[in-house]
Amino acid sequence: MSALLEMKDITIRFGGLVALDGVSFDVEEKKVVALIGPNGAGKSTVFNVITGIYTPTSGKVIFRNEDITGLKPYLITERGIARTFQNIRLFKNLSVLDNVKIGCHCRGRAGIFGALCRHPGVRAEEKIILEKSLNALDVVDLTGKRAELAKNLSYGEQRRVEIARALASDPVLLLLDEPAAGMNPQEKQTLMWMVQRIRRLGITILLVEHDMKFVMSLSDRVDVLDYGRKIASGPPSEVQRDAQVIAAYLGKEVVRECS
């Protein structure tokens, strides 16, 4: 069986800068795959290519055996890929519940006409949206804060709302961009449980993260990027010992001195 998501030889150039240089990797169904690498390695660019914010210069993104390269972001979400952002992008002046409800958008149908006359179909849909949103909030333990404005939540909670919002779109694949960034150890621990909970729901997870403890204890496989190239791939225990990976993180001189 082929993988859920296949990145095939993705290259993307911004003017003279090659942000990704022939990157290929697969994400198998129901696995947690981590993407790591030093700052500027191109991890977030990978996410932006998958979700359609950038169109790659060459290469293909295959999702469930369909070519989704260059599709508009909203169409990609409709096909089952949801994401969170490295720098939180919540709808700050809306309530937590509304944020999550907007996540359900691509699974709904009601338009202007439905908004005006609120026929039974629309009311039934609203009920489903509410139910789904509360379920998603339940996964991240934020049901009690549903009426708060998103901007009034703590940093860690805001990150969790982002996850709930992504979950509300019924994703098959969830992309988490540095979910643990800026969290204290306790919050990180909670987040880890939540990621495991989401995994048990049968959702495949691709995550970018700098916190190695977080990555190593959660992932089934780790891919390492450096200067837009994939330099290693394998189970966490192997990648940790890879000479190239250590060199990328610590610099070649350090590695030479140590050996």
Partner 1 sequence: MDAVLDVLTNPYYIQVMTMVGISLIAALGLHLITGITGQFSFGHAAFVSIGAYASALLTIHLHLPFILSMLAGGLAAALCGILLGYPSLRLTGDYLGITTLGFGEIVRVVFINMKITGGASGLTGIPRETNIFIVYVVVVLTIWGMYRIQNSRFGRALTAIREDEIAAETMGINTLLYKIKSFAIGTFFAGISGSLFAHMMQYLNPADFGFSRSFEILNFVVLGGLGSIPGTILGTVVLSLAPEFLRFVQEYRMLIYGALMVFMMIFRPNGLLGGVDVVRLLRSCLARLKVRRAS
Applying CB under 8 A, the residues found at the interface with partner 1 are 51, 53, 72-74, 77-78, 82-83, 85, 89-94, 98, 101-103, 105-108, 110-112, 114-116, 118, 122, 125-126, 129, 165, 169
CB of 244 to partner 1, least distance (A): 33
β-bridge mates for residue 58, sequence order: 11
Nearer to partner 1, 74 or 193 (CB): 74
Nearer to partner 1, 104 or 232 (CB): 104
CB atoms within 10 A of CB 256: 9
Give the single-character DSSP code of 143.
Answer: G
CB of 90 to partner 1, least distance (A): 7
CB of 154 to partner 1, least distance (A): 19
CB of 160 to partner 1, least distance (A): 16
Provide the sign of the torsion angle of the four alpha carbons 198, 204, 206, 210, taken in this order.
positive
Q: Are 34 and 220 in contact (CB under 8 A)?
A: no
CB of 65 to partner 1, least distance (A): 21
| Cα–Cα nearest to 175, from 250, 86, 66, 259 | 86
Nearer to partner 1, 1 or 147 (CB): 147
Q: How far is CA 56 from CA 47, 159, 179, in A?
A: 11, 28, 25
Backbone angles phi, psi at 84, to 5 degrees: -115, 170
Nearer to partner 1, 53 or 255 (CB): 53
Nearer to partner 1, 14 or 74 (CB): 74
